[in-house]
Amino acid sequence: MGIEPNAETWLEDTRRSYDTVAVSYANQVRNLLDETPEERAILALFVELVSSRGGGSVADVGCGPGRITAHLRQLGADAFGIDLSPGMIEVARREHPGLRFELGSMTNLGLSDGSMAGLVAWYSLIHIPDTQIGTVFKHFHRVLQPGGPLLLSFHVGDTSKVKTEGYGGHPMKVHVHRRQHSQMIGWLNEAGFTVDQRRTLASAESTLGGILLARRQM
């Protein structure tokens, strides 16, 4: 069963929690992609799809310390990162000098309509409550070019829990939501996306992870 977070405080709780754990979180996840060949393959496919459509800007939404943003750049994408946490943005800029990172929230995405050639949300939807997912996906649809690819990863399951400690034992207060592919696909369809690929896998990224590759309908 899910636990719906307080509508007034969940965003600030999430921001404050990741400010607190930013350095220890970065240390823990820094080299995860070295251990996850399937994830690297899907990220490479995403970049190929963007390139095949002529390229353009790619947003890594909920970028954390910037490791996925940097990997996308290494693959040739014109990627930049957005995150809710100033602490995470500070770490990302320090660890990846020269790359673009900016503060922002996926619930109120400050990007122009149709300005993005692609968009990635890599395990960053897991703290968004069910009541806000539709709003997030509408923003994703708005900022993507017609036909532009959207790559999502998430934890698979049917439960939600409150995480009160993590990443070096630091205090946190974040809701972690596990969801089924069918639920995510339903929300995406409602927001005007077509899902082209779905995968379930276990790896260093997640004990049971889900990946969806979708595109904005024309």
* Model pLDDT for residues 35-77, shown as the tens digit of each residue: 999 999 999 999 999 999 999 999 999 999 999 999 999 999 9
pLDDT in tens, 173-210: 888 999 999 999 999 999 999 999 999 999 999 999 99
For the cut 90, the answer to whether the pLDDT of residue 145 exceeds it is: yes
How far apart CA 33 and CA 12 sit, in angstroms, is 29
Of 95, 61, 98, whose CA–CA distance to 81 is shortest? 61
End-to-end CA distance of the chain: 36
Structure tokens at 147: 């036909």
For the cut 80, the answer to whether the pLDDT of residue 6 exceeds it is: no
Q: Which fold has domain 10-171+180-216?
A: Rossmann fold (3.40.50)
Residue 4 pLDDT level (bands cut at 50, 70, 90):
low
Per-residue exposure over 19-52, b if at least 16 CB sit within 10 Å of its own CB, e if not:
ebbbbebbeebeeebeebeebeebbeebbebbee
DSSP string, 71-97: HHHHTT-EEEEEES-HHHHHHHHHHST
Per-residue exposure over 188-208, b if at least 16 CB sit within 10 Å of its own CB, e if not:
beebbbebeeeeebeeebbee
218 vs 5: which has the higher pLDDT: 218
How far apart CA 158 and CA 193 sit, in angstroms, is 23
Phi/psi at 3 (nearest 5 deg)?
A: -120, 115
For the cut 50, the answer to whether the pLDDT of residue 103 exceeds it is: yes
For the cut 50, the answer to whether the pLDDT of residue 140 exceeds it is: yes
User: Running DSSP on this structure, what letter comes out for residue 32?
Assistant: G
- What are the residue ranges of helices labelled H in 30-65? 37-52
**Is the full-model pTM beyond 0.95?**
no
Out of 4-8, 43-47, 65-69, 95-99, pick the least confident: 4-8
CA 118 to chain centre: 12
For the cut 80, the answer to whether the pLDDT of residue 7 exceeds it is: no
The residues near 155 (Cβ < 8 Å, ≥ 6 apart) are: 123, 126, 176, 177, 178, 179, 206, 207, 208, 209, 210
For the cut 70, the answer to whether the pLDDT of residue 2 exceeds it is: no
The residues near 28 (Cβ < 8 Å, ≥ 6 apart) are: 167, 168
Mean pLDDT of the chain: 94
